[in-house]
Amino acid sequence: MKQLFRVLPPLAPDYGGACEIMYELGGLVLIHDATGCTVNYVHFDEPRYHTKPSNVFCSGLCEIDAVMGNDDVVINKAIKAAEELKPNFIAFVGSSVPMVVGTDFYGIAHDCEAQCGIPCFGIDANGIRNYIYGASVTGLQFVKRFCGEKTESRGVNLLGFIPMNYGDLRETEIIKGAFTDVRHAFSYNMSFDDLADLQNAEGNIVVSAAGLEIAEYMKKKYGMPYTVGVPYEHILEKIIDPSGLKGRVLVIGEGIDACSMAAAITGKYGLEADALDVFEKKSAAKYNLSSEEEIKAVAAEYDVVVADPCFTPLVGKSKIIKRPTVSVSGGVFNT
Amino acid sequence: MISDNNGGLPRYCHPFHGDWDVARIALDIPESKVLFVCPASCARIIKLNSFLSGYADRIYVLGLTEADIVAGDYEKKTYEAACEIIETEEIKPKALIIYVSCIDAMLGNDHSFQTKKVMEKHPDVNCFVLKMCPITRYSTDLPLVELQNDMYSALPLEKVEKTRTVAFIGANIAPGEDNEIVKLLKANNYRVLHIQASDKYEDYLDIRSSVLNIAVMPFARKACETLKKRYGTEYMPVLLRPDPDYIDGVIKELCSRLDIECPDVAGLREEALNELRSAAKAVEGYEIIIDSTANMFPLVLKEVLKNTGFNVKMIYRDSADTAAPDIDSGHITMPGKRLFVEQPGTLAIGEVANCFSATEKGIKLFYDNGYMGYAALKKLAQLIKEGGKE
């Protein structure tokens, strides 16, 4: 049964991706849920929770408010918290219950902004899509709202750059360090003011699918060219133990990241390497699969699989080179 | 109409729940497996917790799509997934728990049709539904109350012969052999039954045979009421209240109910308090911060610690109401109030206090980790000493 997961954890959801991209931007973020979704996010999907504060809250949605459509409750809570926090913006992020009752997040954001004058956003996350969607639609809204006129062309932006793509903050730093002349990494170590400067880079580099739509938009609006990929050939040994690489290699993960690593393995070690994207149904990866049965069948064709430790039971006799990622295993395999 | 006002503010959430979640509690039922039927994200925390605590092979997730939810398709899929687990897994479960989430509460689904069908096909498997629905916390009993009640309501209705058994209901962790109540019961030839300590499904069924149930947490009271109605089993609360007078009273009441000789309560009390006094000396000069995830009665614990020589500075009232005029009552509603720079000379009892106050030392304790009575005070003393040495 394709939808039944015996081994793999559910992947990081859209509301997690949305919150990740906003974490450092000084906003007030409300996940509209009863608590479970927010705890999911702060527990496993946000590596920065323990190192820096951010105004990410649970709206405390309850049954009666959901059924009766009492959207005023969440709006009033946001305004009250904003009075104390003075946020740069307010974002209302969806989850599964609002999806069921058809909550209009754009309407809520519009009403809230009309009442308090602070820029407000509605993110129609539902807990069914993955983090790529959440980070992408949120990032795009911010770029559309805050990027102004282009006044110069210098440096590059990294788009779709969020810690959730990687194993931990140490690895995030290593990967950021592999790029040169970085103007902004959207969104890691980036401020709210930096948002209004994204258009002043010479071009964009998309490091995960979360950045693709933003790159397309900036290309159309500002004529900014973009490329796709992560230069793993310079840092591969810092991310995985390459000593076990041999024969045919399969890299499992997010599409752009996995393709980049596969290309680096081929370029550096002369091995045949392919990518399997577990997040998106369509990408540059050779395979786009999410069912355990299908992943197992494909993995069996390879000598070595580079993947999160969660995939171990699915690789059969192939050798696994473990590369934990927050978007899959939420940091539980980090030492 | 009850609406969540919570002082008009949104909630600042923390991830510190002692690695416990609703699935781990339900999996205390021996030889059981759990199938989550929900939007996949709802079960992410469950599966990841299961990796941390070593029971991932007992957790399955049927990740629903929007189409499943809108069309109601997942009723059939739930049945198919349940049968697939029972029929294909190497270790066949004796109980298969179908866990549903908030959306089922919203949609008003009744999965008893599927569970009945599963049991018709597999009569040797007890298949039942549990709910992970925090959305209903103001419309029904608290989720943990419902969980305990539903866990024990899934026992077969048939009454069985009573045996010399006392069952503990509601604690996540079975009380240790060093617990004075356990010792007392065993010394009087009672079987002490806690399903968490067992790997046999039959022990879960044996709950029906107990002559007395001990409700270890307030959450368990409703479950004990259900067991009383169904099987005629009396119950008494033995809460994790660290007050020596309360503990004395519990031991005396237990002896009275079972008509057994009461032990030297004063001796036990003095021994536990001496341990605490010794721990206080070990962390002399340290400011103690307690949070209500470590013990459900932080004000009582504060008094006990103060009386044994500790310097208690603050209580985090995560869920408890601690109107204490003589003490700072922390309640982190705004992330900016969190401290990130380590505070020398501070010791936290509980992970929330440890994280939010950035204490120098911390004791990982969640609802006393199941310790109760004087054994809990002695264990706390030991942990404080060990924490003080870190």
* DSSP string computed for B325-350: TTSEEE---SGGG---S-EEEEEEES
DSSP at A156: E
Indicate if the pLDDT at residue A5 is higher than 80. yes
Burial of A45 (0-12, 13-18, 19+ CB in 10 A): buried
CA-nearest residue to B56 within chain A is: A7
Nearest neighbour of B335 by CB, restricted to A54, A78, A95: A54
Which residue reads 């009573």 in tokens? B162
Confidence band for A293, pLDDT divided at 50, 70 and 90: very high
Residues of B in contact with A128 (CB under 8 A): 39-41, 63-66
Q: What is the pLDDT of residue B331?
A: 55
C-alpha span between B225 and B233 (Å, rounded): 9
Q: Read off the amino acid at residue A253.
A: G
How confident is the model over A276-291, as a mean pLDDT? Answer: 95
Is the Cβ pair B340, A65 closer than 8 Å? no
According to DSSP, the residues that pair with B192 across neighbouring strands are B166
Q: Is A59 on the interface with B (CB under 8 A)?
A: yes
Is the Cβ pair A80, B3 closer than 8 Å? no
CA distance A166 to chain B (A): 17
| Per-residue exposure over B58-94, b if at least 16 CB sit within 10 Å of its own CB, e if not | bbbbbbbeeebbeeeebbebbbbbbbbbbeeeeeebb
Contact at 8 Å (CB) between A62 and B4? yes
Residues of A in contact with B358 (CB under 8 A): none
Of B293, B220, B272, residue with least CA distance to B380: B272
Token readout for B223 is 């479950």
Q: How many CB atoms lie within 10 A of CB B26?
A: 22
Residues of A in contact with B52 (CB under 8 A): 332
C-alpha span between B119 and B1 (Å, rounded): 39
According to DSSP, the residues that pair with B156 across neighbouring strands are none
How confident is the model over A133-154, as a mean pLDDT? Answer: 97
CA of residue B301 relative to chain centroid, distance = 19
Is the Cβ pair A60, B340 closer than 8 Å? no
pLDDT digits (tens, 9 = 90+) for A53-64: 899 999 989 888
Nearest neighbour of A60 by CB, restricted to B4, B41, B48: B4
Token readout for A179 is 């790029």
How confident is the model over A162-177, as a mean pLDDT? Answer: 97
Q: Read off the amino acid at residue B87.
A: E
Which residue blocks in chain B are alpha helix, DSSP H?
22-26, 44-53, 66-71, 74-88, 102-107, 112-121, 143-153, 180-187, 201-205, 221-231, 244-258, 265-282, 298-307, 351-356, 373-389
3-class DSSP state of A82: helix
Q: How many CB atoms lie within 10 A of CB A65?
A: 24
CA distance B352 to chain A (A): 12
Q: Which of residues 3-32 of B touch A (CB under 8 A)?
A: 3-6, 8-15, 17
The answer for residues whose C-beta is within 8 angstroms of residue B168's C-beta and 6 or more apart is: B174, B175, B192, B193, B194, B213, B214, B216
CA-nearest residue to B63 within chain A is: A3
Residues of A in contact with B69 (CB under 8 A): 99-100
Q: What is the mean pLDDT of each run of 10 residues along chain B (390 residues)?
A: 55 84 94 97 96 95 93 90 95 96 90 95 97 85 89 95 96 90 96 95 97 92 97 93 94 96 91 97 94 88 96 76 45 73 93 90 88 92 80
Q: Which of residues 271-330 of A touch B (CB under 8 A)?
A: 310, 329-330
Residues of A in contact with B5 (CB under 8 A): 73
Q: Cα–Cα–Cα angle for A92, A95, A96, nearest 5°?
A: 150
* ipTM (interface pTM): 0.95
Q: What is the pLDDT of residue B330?
A: 54
Q: Which of residues 106-145 of A touch B (CB under 8 A)?
A: 126-128
Q: Which of A41, A43, A292 to mutate: most B Cβ within 10 Å?
A: A43
C-alpha span between B82 and B96 (Å, rounded): 8
Q: Which of A83, A96, A108 to mutate: most B Cβ within 10 Å?
A: A96
Count interface pairs A-B at CB distance under 8 A: 204
Of B78, B33, B54, residue with least CA distance to A6: B33
Indicate if the pLDDT at residue A211 is higher than 60. yes
Is the Cβ pair B63, A3 closer than 8 Å? yes
Q: How many CB atoms lie within 10 A of CB A170?
A: 12
Residues of A in contact with B107 (CB under 8 A): 100
Contact at 8 Å (CB) between B246 and B373? no
